[in-house]
């Protein structure tokens, strides 16, 4: 593409700021045919763009998705390893835009080729923001949520509060419903609570949310971003161009610094949340009550009661209180009254695999926290208990375990390690908790010769059963067996949910003596 053609293409993209803009004939490559990629391709086809979809996996599922896309409109779908190696032509010409799925790294060959050719790269969230305005439908406000941990809990709590306020609201983005599917809903929404991963933020540029929050910041996904500084920079983008409220964690100074550095719109306020007594312009906790000193007129000398800590459940970890306060700040920024915050909390049903009580037997609690896929999340779980038999390990994503083990060494009664390679975690335990017994299950339980993508989960199930058996041998009255891996699951399981289900099944079969009833997890 010549320099003039590139300038013309960039100008055209700059003008594409609504559904009713001139998308017809735009040459677009979509990378990935998973949830977000399929949704992006489907949307672009509906808009009249010329689309080529590329995915490195040539599976029966992906071929079926390709057939579906061909039915709804003109599209080329390229599957297999070669499809991800180069930037394809669209209608015989260089594409004018690439829309990438979140998991594709910037260094991936196709994306590198697009960058070298000067072709802009958007994520599905950027595309969704561009098409959110459509004649005949309401334009939803966005409240955006990111953070190393707690995103899904916060976004679903915010959704519940907003609905309790009488607003048509939905949680979307990284939480399950692709953001473009929410945008294309025939009725439209008043507010969309958008969960954003660091990957999605990396490829987003023009968002202007009503309110935004980074819940916390800890080392994660450094392998994808290339380093912690790059990961932090991606997370900080959540605050850019925010219009009403930048919500930060007063107990995590890194998030406050992000707000201080953000280029926001005139009149936007910084709103803190804390699990301690709140200062002015904060939400916090006073006498086991969640209170608001930010969205009331008399905030200098009073606070509005929002809910009780007990509204969140019988056993409420501190981080759950923090997530509820963050969600409340977003909902209040969107106009939800205090009563709606309380009702939303009471109506909320937590997702599985997050500090989930599986069994209580002979004085031992068995807790499933499979969603703790990094050290920061595992620390939140560990800090909720005292004498812990810790089941941990998995795909580490290049993180450092030393701080996690050092900060929780007094809590460990023993550690049982699963995963293809638990050497980093084992080394941290030897270094910072040398007196804690460590049981490494070894390669015999892990299917070590297989690639992560080849795992059906059967070898992981066997490893989990072995881990539960070891934990049962060690645990005694007053102990908690906590499965909080501090690692991703893909080395042994298709997902963290599958890993959690394997733990639940093992506990029921071995600890409670119910036997193994599931044919396949």
Q: From CA 274, how far away is CA 7, in angstroms rounded? A: 48
Q: Which helix (H) or strand (E) holds 390?
A: strand 388-392
**Strand-pair category, 364-368 with 356-361:** antiparallel
Residue reference for tokens 């409340």? 328
Q: From CA 159, how far away is CA 215, in angstroms rounded? A: 16
- Residue 446 is labelled as binding a ligand: no
- Residue 442 is labelled as binding a ligand: no
- Residue 151 is labelled as binding a ligand: yes
- Residue 147 is labelled as binding a ligand: yes
Structure tokens at 334: 């969107």
Q: Which helix (H) or strand (E) holds 277?
A: none
Specify whether the CB–CB gap between 181 and 140 falls below 8 A.
no
Q: From CA 405, how far away is CA 429, in angstroms rounded? A: 6
* Phi, psi of 357, deg, nearest 5: -70, 120
Lateral strand order in the sheet of 282-286? 169-173, 191-195, 141-146, 211-214, 245-249, 269-273, 282-286, 289-292, 304-308
> How far is CA 142 from each of CA 68, 147, 357, 468, rounded to the nearest angstrom?
30, 17, 33, 43
- Residue 153 is labelled as binding a ligand: yes
Q: From CA 1, how far away is CA 76, in angstroms rounded? A: 21
- Residue 154 is labelled as binding a ligand: no
Instruction: Give the residue from 228, 50, 43 showing the smallest Cα distance to 123.
Output: 43
- Residue 43 is labelled as binding a ligand: no
The distance in angstroms from the start CA to the end CA of the chain is: 50
Q: At what angle do helices 338-347 and 151-164 cross, to 10 degrees?
A: 120
> How far is CA 321 from each of CA 275, 358, 414, 496, rounded to the nearest angstrom?
7, 21, 28, 23
Q: What's the gap between Cα 447 and its chain centre?
A: 28
Instruction: Give the residue from 65, 61, 66, 100 showing the smallest Cα distance to 84.
Output: 100
| Length of the chain as a residue count | 521
DSSP annotation of 336: -
Which segments of 142-203 does DSSP mark as H helices, in order?
151-164, 179-183, 198-202
DSSP string, 407-463: HHGGGEEEEEE-SS--HHHHHHHHHH-TTS-EEE--GGGTTTTS-GGG--SHHHHHH
Residue reference for tokens 């700021």? 17
**Binding-site annotation: residue ranges:** 147-153
Annotated binding site for ATP: 147-153
């Amino acid at each position: 593409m010549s320099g003039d053609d590139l300038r013309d293409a960039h100008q055209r993209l700059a003008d594409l700021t609504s559904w009713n803009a001139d998308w017809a004939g735009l040459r677009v490559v979509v990378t990935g045919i998973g949830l977000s990629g399929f949704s992006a391709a489907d949307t672009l086809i509906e808009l009249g763009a010329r689309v080529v979809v590329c995915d490195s996996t040539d599976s029966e599922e992906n071929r079926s998705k390709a057939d579906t896309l061909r039915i709804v409109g003109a599209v080329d779908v390229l599957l297999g390893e070669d499809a991800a190696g180069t930037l394809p032509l669209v209608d015989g010409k260089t594409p004018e835009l690439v829309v990438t799925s979140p998991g594709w790294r910037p260094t991936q060959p196709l994306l590198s080729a697009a960058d070298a050719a000067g072709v802009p790269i958007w994520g599905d969230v950027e595309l969704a923001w561009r098409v959110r305005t459509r004649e005949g439908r309401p334009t939803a406000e966005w409240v955006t949520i990111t953070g190393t941990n707690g995103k899904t809990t916060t976004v679903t709590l915010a959704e519940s509060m907003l609905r309790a306020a009488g607003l048509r609201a939905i949680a979307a983005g990284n939480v399950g419903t692709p953001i473009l599917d929410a945008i294309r809903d025939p009725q439209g929404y008043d507010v969309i609570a958008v969960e954003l991963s660091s990957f999605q933020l990396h490829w987003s540029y023009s968002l202007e949310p009503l309110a935004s929050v980074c819940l916390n910041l800890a080392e994660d996904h450094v392998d994808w971003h290339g380093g912690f500084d790059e990961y932090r920079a991606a997370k900080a983008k959540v605050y850019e161009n925010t219009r009403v409220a930048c919500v930060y964690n007063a107990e995590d100074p890194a998030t406050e610094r992000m707000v201080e550095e953000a280029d926001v719109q005139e009149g936007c306020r910084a709103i803190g949340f804390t699990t301690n007594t709140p200062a002015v312009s904060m939400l916090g906790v006073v006498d086991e009550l969640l209170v608001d000193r930010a969205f009331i007129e008399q905030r200098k000398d009073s606070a509005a009661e929002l809910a009780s800590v007990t509204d969140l459940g019988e056993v409420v970890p501190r981080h759950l209180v923090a997530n509820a306060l963050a969600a409340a700040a977003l909902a209040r920024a969107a106009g939800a009254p205090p009563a709606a915050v309380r009702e939303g909390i009471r109506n909320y049903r937590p997702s599985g695999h997050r500090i989930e009580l599986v069994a209580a037997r002979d004085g031992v609690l068995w807790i499933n926290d499979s969603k703790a896929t990094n050290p920061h999340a595992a620390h939140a779980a560990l800090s909720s208990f005292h004498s812990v038999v810790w089941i941990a390990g998995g795909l580490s994503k290049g993180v450092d375990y030393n701080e996690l083990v050092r900060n929780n060494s007094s809590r460990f009664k023993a550690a049982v390690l699963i995963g293809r390679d638990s050497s980093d975690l084992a080394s941290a335990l030897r270094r910072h908790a040398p007196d804690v017994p460590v049981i490494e299950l070894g390669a015999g339980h892990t299917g070590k010769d297989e690639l992560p993508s080849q795992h059906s989960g059967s070898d992981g199930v066997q490893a989990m059963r072995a881990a539960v058996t070891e934990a049962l041998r060690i645990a005694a009255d007053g102990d908690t067996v906590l499965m909080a891996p501090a690692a991703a699951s893909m080395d042994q399981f298709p997902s963290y949910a599958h890993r959690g289900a394997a733990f639940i099944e093992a506990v029921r079969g071995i600890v409670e003596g119910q036997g193994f009833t599931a044919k396949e997890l």
